[in-house]
Copies of this chain bind each other. A is one copy, B any other.
Amino acid sequence: MPKRGYHHGNLRQALVDAALMLIEAKGPTGFTLSEAAKQAGVTPAAVYRHFEGREDLIAEAARQGYEIFADVMKYAYDKGQPSALAAFEATGRAYLAFARKYPGHYIAMFESGISVNRTPDLAAVSARARGVLEKAAADLSEHISPDKRPPAAMFSAHIWAMSHGVVELFARTAPGSQSPFSPEDLLETGIGIYLRGLGLIKPDD
């Protein structure tokens, strides 16, 4: 911690970080402006130099989350190239890894109730994230014979839903309490079975 005089130096980001910690620790409900300010070593009123209010601060936390999320997904996608299948599976793993590594961001993004259409910024970055997943799905979709190919947006939605469901139901609780399987295993096998259903993995592989 650098010495701190009257001026903070980087209060804006310090507040976002504090908000993320609080959200992670106590849920989006538990987060309060005052506490975030206190944790950043500053009066509640100081927050208003940098944000319009409580909601605005959460939105910024979510925005940064989407930014990281989109990057992470893109990186996984690229790494899986040139195999469409490998790229797709990698994004699935990346989803869960993101939720685990950035729980505060994840909660701000998906559980805080802030709308993705709150600001153009937020809408843009969330669209970018969704775009990566849909691109991965579209690539993969090329390998399915056209007559039995579901829309790419549909199966990217399936995978997104399963990933989100695994996070919410099985990755959030005390380890091992909810289910005998790790979230990673659950998602890996789930996606595997699903892809087999699409004929993209050999039945006996």
User: Using a CB–CB distance below 8 Å, which chain A residues touch chain B?
Assistant: 27-29, 110-111, 113, 148, 150-151, 153-155, 157-158, 160-166, 168-170, 179-181, 186, 189-190, 192-199, 203-204
Contact = CB atoms under 8 A, between A and B. Distances in A.
Contacts of A195: 197
Contacts of A189: 150, 154, 158
Contact of A158 (B27, B153, B186): B186
Contact of A27 (B113, B190, B192): B113
Contacts of A180: 151, 153
A165 to B, nearest CB: 3
Contacts of A28: 29
A157 B164 CA distance: 13
A172 B185 CA distance: 28
Contacts of A197: 192-198
B164 A169 contact: yes
Given A193-B155, A194-B194, A198-B193, A161 B150 contact: no
